[in-house]
Structure 1
Amino acid sequence: HGIRANVWEYALRKAPYEARYRTALERDFKWLLSALHETGWRYSMTSTDWDNSCTQYGVLGIWAAERAGFSAGDAFWAKMSRHFRGVQNDDGGWGYVAGSSSSANMATAGLASMFLVFDYAYGRKHAFKAGQPNPFAEGDARAVLDAMERGMTWLGKADGQRNNAYYLYGIERAAVAGGRKYLGGVDWFAEGAEGALRAQAPDGSFPLGYTGEIGTALTTLFLVYGGAPVAIDKLQYGEGTAWNLNPRDAANVARSLWQAYERPVNWHTVSLSDPVEEWEAPILYISGFEAAKFNDADVARLRSYVQRGGTIFAEAADGGKGFTASMEKLVGRIRAGAALSALPADHALFTALRQAWTNRPHLRGASDGTRTWFVFSDDYLAADWQMNRTESDAFPLALSLLLYVTDLGALAGRFSTAVPPGEGAEARDGRLIVARARFGSDDDWDAAEATWAAVAPYARHEAGVTVVEAGPVKLTDPIHANLLHLTGRRQLKRSDAGRAVQRRVGENGEKELVDAFAGSPAFAESARRELEAMFGALAPLEGNAPLAVGRFEGGVDLTRGVRYALPARRALRRAGLEVDRAHLKVARVGGRAAVVFSAYDLSAALAGVRAWGASGYVPASARRVVTNVLASIAEG
């Protein structure tokens, strides 16, 4: 009944006017309430005892009915709160029944249920309010939060059963609800997925300790929901709970995005001690009331996150002035000279979603010329998120923000990879050195910080080229690399000394790759002028040129099957150009294409930086173009 109730609730979301689904859900809902004993559920209506396994599914069924508009009442959730706290063992885990030893399976059952209990019994009734006692720092709400934290700690130390389908489904429910990527320092999804895939039967089923049907059902739920993309990371910083005054705000945002996207979407808590590469979400949410303190190493991590395409969204809980001032300062520390300014009503963040705002949130942001990378809300949105007031403008704003930062693109799940399946190309001898050109007095030259680390595995797999990135090279310094990469967002200005050095590109077989980051028109036009001042008029890459058709080891044909983002496709059509081939220009030195120029973005697409309205190649095609350049150099 509990599991089936979730089927009816899902069906109702897909067909909300199907009375038969609502009737079936109501029938299971009433059965569950009638079968509930003083402390929990067992297998049948006539059972007089309970166990935590059946009880977790009873709670799950009531939760599904509540989502569909039925109400079990506050007394039910209070009863479940007392039950799971009362039977939690001193070590933090749960057993099958009261007094039995803690087990990993039952710990996941207790934890997953406690998250639902907290949301319905406490989380949706309160939000942090300045000048008042923190509702989540005392009383029953605090007791539940502490119980969940002790449960997570126990589970992180336990020996999980990654070859057990029941455990996999349970760990997914608990960890996803808690926004945890790691438990006890272990990536629970990676470990579980590896075990599941190794144990998959030849017929495609996942028995994992059960019949093929049951094991496959539970394991599939684990893989689908546990491997779902992460939309928002919430940053843990400082001491205590100052970063988490509204403990379920991000969880409720993720749940609403899940419904809007009509596919699973997760959230994570991340720490400043975690590698930036582990911050998977395109949005990093920072919240607080008092001033937030970040040292230089913290700021460097935040800067790297932004350079990798992340967008920081910050909000002061109930208008905390100290936190607001610290965020205004943080913007300038992340990017010198940057400051927050009001986002106008026609900013893409507000228009990405066709939304009739009741009270359009007041936002400020900082831009790098191609995208707004820091957004600060002067309104207290997290209160609505925490209390799950989905009718407020706070939830459409979260969706609109996600659409903006992803440029309407799809989120990548845990199984996404840029490297195609199958055996890769044989590795070539030697390494290909790439250096990024450093210019100007600001950090515009560093836009492609993450580009070469992102494309290197693909180039190795497809063309056998081992790419090594050297330190940045000033345009006035000699070039000791096989490929010099120049990109930026703003107008490029080079000194005469820099021009003299650049004229020597190609004399020893080097190449220079120049592209406009995110398709920046200012950079594209100024870079083209500078290149033509040095090398003469740039010529379109001819359709039969080796670089165009990939006439070398590891090369691919760029005259067909190339795809662009929508703004670039529109620009190409206006110019009367084909939209399924690469459009590059070259400068020749000694008859060789020494400089390759693209007015359309390559770098941002390769690095995973999505800028709203960016004019460039889609990532898969950008990888093909750049790998051709690398393979042509390796060919000699």
Structure 2
Amino acid sequence: MILRRAGLTLLLSLSLLSLPCVGTLQAQAPEDVNRAIERAVDFLKSKQRHGIGNWEEMGDYKGGVTSLVVLSMLLADVSPDDDRIKKALVYLRQVPPEYTYVVALQTMVFAEAKSDFGLIRRNAKWLMETRLPSGNWSYGRRGGAGDNSNTQFALLGLKAAADAGVNINEEFWKKSRQHWVNSQSNVGSWGYRGIGDATGSMSVAGISSLIITSRQFASVKKGFVDGRAVRCDGALIDENLRRAIDWIGRNFSVSRNPAGGNEVWLFYYLYGLERAGRLTGQRFFGNHDWYRLGVRFLLTQQRLDGSWSTPRAAQGPYLLCNTAFSLLFLTRGRIPILVNKAQWGAGDDWNNAPNDVNNLTEFMSKTVWKKRLNWQSVDLKVADVAALLQAPILQMSGHEAPRLPVAQRTLLRRFVEQGGLLMADSNCSCGSFDQGFRTLCKDLFPGPGQELKRLEPDHPVWTSLFDLRNLADDWPLFGIDVGCRTGVFYSPKDMSCRWEFPTEEASLPAFRLGANIIAYAVGPEDLLDKLDVRKVFDDVPEDEIKRGYLHIAKVRHNGDWNPAPRAIQNLMSSLQEIAKIDVIRQQRDIEILDPNFFNYPLVYMHGRNAFTLSKKEKETLTDYLESGGVLFADACCGSERFADSFREMVEELFPGQKLKPIPVEHELFTQEIGYDLSKVKLSKALGSREVAPVLEGLEIDGRYAIIFSPYDIGCALERHQGSDCKGYTHEAALKLASNVILYALKQ
């Protein structure tokens, strides 16, 4: 007879009174930001002039405010087919090129709306022709001295034109960059004109302009040799950029325009701060988390009508500009992070190809997924697991051996165990990094079956996005299986330096291989909002057995019985936190013939290969189930081998009976048990569809004694799902498994 633990039924009944959604563990900030964005868009829409289709302009700068407002709305996902946008575009097409601000913003609007390439090309030509001999821009054809504000916008417009397909030669970008180098102060700042009178708004403009111009030409010391092989003998370290980033870190603020900045342009500064943070890949300036701090400030400063203002700029076109600048900060800054670039070691060896991850991210964003994506760098010396998990991929490369201290090795291991993917390559195919990374892998994952091994052409990474099976022989790719999927990918052949050259045909295989590794791990629909916080399941020591606490055992069988070793631990941690059940978080690994087997009200079974039970094991398991026990099982990544073997076992336990689909209307899937599971989401291997849950069961005396999922649950509980893993998402798996446990405890 099954021995129920004292007090468990009472704890269960209390937990069922109110079971929240899994998502309630996340901060509410993303929803707050979305509401602020909606209110701002509604405010801007309400201020459009119905007759002409424009917004109130600033002085003689016809089209300037309208362009800025339309740009902010487009980036807030207002469709170019929206009637207000269409009307504004008609108006902007009639605005001739005359002022630098207007021409640049107009170009950015046309590029974002993917329209009017002829006007984009016209505007780019105008901007190139109006640049001053010193490499900067004034207000326009009327002349006057150049300034850094006009120059910043001119470069933003030209970048938008270049991204749209306008050819701008490398020498033009180099001369424009030289202006910013020449006008930077010794401490790293910029003013409106020249070196003096530093301001925050002009200093973030300088950071963005250095990045925009330098990305138009290679940032490694040597490029292609004979148009094929890359030699990246170290990065061209941008000391100007480094000094500027340090200056912002020392003078950081979100509530004022730092140094001598005019407070009228506070929101203009914030718009520049967002761009500087995004383009540099910096999550922090100094120790300041710029986006989260900026969001907090803007949410507290938004007015009831959805606008933003300062006391000296509270009406008319200034109000429109400040609202548009704030909207741009919120919308651009929240773009999901696809890849974190690992900053490791004491020097710059981690950054031999400064634009590698940026270019790979742009390849995924523009060529593959057609979705706005971003990247950032993370310093392993100060990062925690939650910071690394903000992106699904962590990229690492270098020339020298990565000799990491224990704390950083632990950080990498926990990141991968929590569902992250480590992608590494050896710059210039250097032997030092190659040997060092192989040693690092042995330290990270010393367990049996976790060796770094070459991936054969039938591994799903070769076909996860592009069919690269013909590349497998010439491009060795190694991996480590962690849980249910490959969690570490390593290329001893250089990828990242090739990513530095996105327009070279010889780089395309490297881009496609990087894209396949990313697509193996994650789909575009799985990416987190930048403000979302992924729950970290902590390592827990072996719990002391306590009376009245729920403890689940995992069945040891002669197949691969433990492909998801942390699944039960993660599930129990979630039940403890959400359902408030007292649990033993560590799973008990148990054989069916163990004398303590009958002490567990529910046992869990998992695997990917076929297995068999002895006659005595079958008899014992039958007695266990007929005595009130529950067997919960799932096929690892939808393995048909395990599923067939499990169904065969059930027929041997109970001759003449088979597993049958559990009806969707059964209480197991209802809030009477726990969660409403009328619809659950499948993994990307099954199309990321929302469907009715698929569980099979066998009833004994009116209760389900065996509950089986032919789709993966265990790997999903670990967030370990590759592109070939047929199962449920992590959130759906948590809910399904929680309901199964709660149902079993009620019987």
Q: Which has the higher contact order (CA 8 A, sep 6+)?
A: 2
Q: 2:243 aligns with which of 150, 161, 167?
A: 150
Q: Secondary structure at the match of 1:597?
A: strand
Q: Which stretch of structure 1 is more off in the superposition, 308-317 or 190-199?
A: 190-199
Call closer, same or farther: CA 1:544–1:85 in 2, change over 3 Å. Answer: closer
Letter in 2 for 1:277: A
CA distance in 2, matches of 1:8, 1:306: 43
Distance 2:431 2:233 in 1: 18
Contact 2:679 2:691 in 1 (8 A): no
Determine if the alignment matches structure 1 residue 109 to structure 2 residue 205.
Answer: yes
Instruction: Supply the distance in 1 between the matched residues of 2:605 and 2:293 (Cα, whole angstroms).
Output: 40
| Residue 92 (structure 1) aligns with | 188
Cα distance change of structure 1 residues 503 and 187 upon mapping to structure 2, 3 Å threshold: farther
* Residues 48/4 of structure 1: CA separation in 2 closer, same or farther (3 Å cut): closer
Match of 1:268 in 2: 376
Q: 1:172 is matched by which residue type in structure 2?
A: E
Residue 343 of structure 2 is matched in structure 1 by 236
**Residue 299 (structure 2) pairs with residue 187 (structure 1):** no
- The 8 Å contact of residues 685 and 726 in structure 2, kept in 1 or not, is answered as yes
Distance 2:408 2:561 in 1: 21
CA contact (8 A) 1:161 1:168 kept: yes
Q: Secondary structure at the match of 1:363?
A: coil
Aligned residue among 205, 217, 227 for 2:334: 227
Q: Is the 1:179–1:269 Cα contact (8 Å) retained in structure 2?
A: yes
- 2:428 corresponds in structure 1 to 318
Deviation at 1:53, TM superposition (A): 2.5
Match of 2:727 among 580, 604, 616: 616
Within a 5 Å distance, the mapping from 1:555-570 to structure 2 comes to: 555-556=675-676, 558=677, 560-565=678-683
Map 1:381-400 to 2 at 5 A: 381-389=495-503, 391=505, 392-400=508-516
Greater CA deviation, 531-540 or 380-389? 531-540
Report the equivalent of 1:427: none
Q: Aligned pair in 2 of structure 1 residues 42, 342: CA closer, same or farther (>3 Å)?
A: same
Q: Which residue of 2 aligns with 1:56?
A: 152
Letter of the structure 1 residue corresponding to residue 182 of structure 2 = G
User: In structure 2, how many angstroms separate the alpha carbons of the residues matched to 1:271 and 1:387?
Assistant: 25
Q: Which has the larger radius of gyration?
A: 2
Measured in 2, the distance between the counterparts of 1:591 and 1:30 equals 80
CA contact (8 A) 1:235 1:269 kept: yes
Superposed counterparts of 1:502-581, under 5 Å:
513-524=632-643, 539-540=659-660, 542-543=662-663, 547-550=667-670, 552=672, 554-556=674-676, 558=677, 560-565=678-683, 580-581=692-693
Alpha carbons of structure 1 residues 569 and 318: separation in structure 2 relative to 1, 3 Å: closer
Is 2:684–2:723's contact at 8 Å kept on the other side of the alignment?
no
Q: Which residue of 2 aligns with 1:349?
A: 461
Per the alignment, residue 268 of structure 2 pairs with: 166
Partners of 1:504 and 1:33 lie apart in 2 by 87
Contact 1:112 1:177 in 2 (8 A): yes
Compute the displacement of 1:265 (Å).
0.9
Match of 1:426 in 2: none
Any idea what the Cα deviations from partners look like across 1:73-93, whole Å, max 9, x if unmatched? Answer: 444433333332333333333
CA distance in 1, matches of 2:411, 2:559: 18
Q: Is 1:380 matched up with 2:491? A: no
Please say if residues 181 and 189 of structure 1, whose CA atoms lie closer than 8 Å, have aligned partners that are also in contact.
yes
Q: Which moved more, 1:472-481 or 1:183-192?
A: 472-481
- In structure 2, do the counterparts of structure 1 residues 187 and 542 end up closer, same or farther at CA, with 3 Å as the change threshold? same
Task: Please tell me whether the aligned partners of residues 664 and 692 of structure 2 are also in contact (alpha carbons under 8 angstroms).
Answer: no
Query: Which amino acid in structure 2 is aligned with residue 182 of structure 1?
Result: F
* Residues 121 and 459 of structure 1, relative CA distance in 2, 3 Å threshold: same
**Paired letter, 1:270:** V
Superposition CA RMSD, Å: 4.5
TM-score, normalising length: structure 1? 0.79
1:425 — aligned with what? Answer: none
For residue 146 of structure 2, what is the amino acid of its counterpart? W
Equivalent runs, 1:356-367 vs 2, <5 Å: 362-366=475-479
**Match for residue 449 of structure 1?**
566
Q: 1:278 aligns with which of 387, 390, 398?
A: 387
Q: Contact between 1:343 and 1:365, CA under 8 Å: does it hold in 2?
A: yes
Tell me how far 1:104 sits from its aligned partner.
3.0
Looking at structure 2, the residues matched to 193 and 435 of structure 1 have their Cα atoms a distance apart, in angstroms, of 43
Task: Specify the code of the residue in structure 2 equivalent to 1:50.
Answer: G
Match of 2:519 among 398, 403, 406: 403
* Structure 1 residue 259, shift from structure 2 partner: 0.8
Query: Offset of 1:182 from its aligned partner?
Result: 2.3
Contact 1:432 1:468 in 2 (8 A): yes
Say whether the 8 Å CA contact 1:552–1:635 is kept in structure 2.
no
Q: How does 1:128-147 map to 2 (within 5 A)?
A: 134=233, 136=235, 141-142=236-237, 145-147=238-240
SS at match of 1:610: coil
Q: Give, in angstroms, the shift of residue 272 of structure 1.
A: 2.8
Task: Give 1:523 shift.
Answer: 4.7
Is the 8 Å Cα contact of residues 26 and 65 (structure 1) preserved in structure 2?
no
- What's 1:423 paired with? none
Structure 1 residue matching 2:297: 3-state secondary structure: helix
Letter in 2 for 1:474: D
Query: What SS does structure 2 have at the residue aligned with 1:601?
Result: coil
| Separation (CA, whole Å) in 2 of partners of 1:482 and 1:216 | 59
* Conserved 8 A contact 1:489-1:518: yes
Tell whether the 8 Å contact from 2:429 to 2:492 is kept in structure 1 after alignment: yes
Q: Structure 1 residues 394, 601: CA separation in 2 closer, same or farther (over 3 Å shift)?
A: same
Unaligned ranges ≥5, structure 2: 1-99, 257-265, 536-546
SS at match of 1:309: coil
Aligned residues: 606
User: 1:414: Cα distance to partner?
Assistant: 2.0
Query: Does structure 2 conserve the Cα–Cα contact (< 8 Å) formed by 1:434 and 1:467?
Result: no
- Residue aligning to 2:141: 45
Question: By how many angstroms is 1:34 displaced?
Answer: 1.0
- Distance in 2 (CA, whole Å) between partners of 1:186 and 1:69 is 36
Instruction: Give the Cα–Cα distance (whole angstroms) in 2 for the partners of residues 232 and 418 of structure 1.
Output: 15
- 2:377 equivalent to 1:257: no
The residue type equivalent to 1:364 in the other structure is L
Deviation, 1:287, is 0.9
Deviations along 1:382-430, one digit per CA (max 9) or x if unpaired, are 22211333533222222232222226754332255799xxxxxxxxxx9
Q: Distance in 2 between matches of 1:82 and 1:401?
A: 37
Q: Which amino acid is the alignment partner of residue 692 of structure 2?
A: D
Q: CA 1:23/1:223 → structure 2, altered by over 3 Å: closer, same or farther? A: same
Q: 2:530 corresponds to which residue?
A: 414
Shift of 1:121: 4.9
Does 2:737 correspond to 1:626? yes
Aligned counterpart, 2:590: 475
**Does the 8 Å contact 2:650/2:659 carry over to 1?**
no
Q: CA deviation at 1:250?
A: 0.9
Change (3 A) 1:551 1:152: closer
Deviation readout 1:467-514 (Å, 9 max, x if unpaired): 766234232685898866554555668899999998897999986643
Asked if residue 120 in structure 1 is aligned to residue 120 in structure 2, the reply is: no
